[in-house]
Amino acid sequence: MTLLITWPGSGPENVVRRTSDFAEIAAALAPIGVRYEQWPVREDVPAGASADVVLEAYREQIDKLNGEEDFSTVDVVSLHPTDSPEWAETAKEARQKFLREHTHEDDDEIRFFVAGAGIFYLHAAQEVHAVYCEKGDLLGVPRGTTHWFDMGTSPSFTAIRFFHEEDGWIGKFTGSEIASRFPDFDTIHAEYTGQRA
């Protein structure tokens, strides 16, 4: 189940809002232009499914959203633990890339979670909104919104990505260290689920 935690932008000492109610989350994110939806989950799509299988399974929803927004590219990103010796380094590099606050000047960042979980931290309207996304959640971060994404120290997720621009993910980093001041994925995941990431 999705979770939204909102703090003042100054730090996480006081929680402004904490909810796992879909309607409350959607209503809280709407004023900052963030799209939040829940799509029906396909239980027949395993966590390690190929991109072709994932895209075909969610073809109806993808086509509907594409009809509304006319994306140039729709693809799948997947990162799950393996026995490969390179896994730890790959996971660390991937996490560090997205863990710094950034914006996208030319495109929205739209992700649908097919499996696993990750947290988008949205820094908007003098607040930080941590949106813990799981299987079935679609989140659309408007271009120009400062944010970061944390997948944890042992990432495990599959997501469909939607791009208006053919160049895909292009981040403009703010240089802020704000991400280091707020609870990370592992902390929130452990508290919320009772499990270590």
Residues belonging to the binding site for Fe(2+) are: 102, 104, 109, 147
Q: What is the largest CA-CA distance in the chain?
A: 44
Binding site feature residues for Ni(2+):
102, 104, 109, 147
> Which among 190, 186, 194, 195 is positioned nearest to 91, based on CA atoms?
186
The full length of the chain comes to 197
> Which among 22, 195, 189, 34 is positioned nearest to 127, based on CA atoms?
34
Integer Cα distance of 147 and 69 in angstroms: 22
For the chain, the first-to-last Cα distance in angstroms comes to 16
Integer Cα distance of 146 and 142 in angstroms: 9
Integer Cα distance of 108 and 1 in angstroms: 24
Tokens matching residue 67: 């009809």
> Which among 107, 197, 92 is positioned nearest to 161, based on CA atoms?
107
The helix (run of H) or strand (run of E) holding residue 122 is strand 109-124
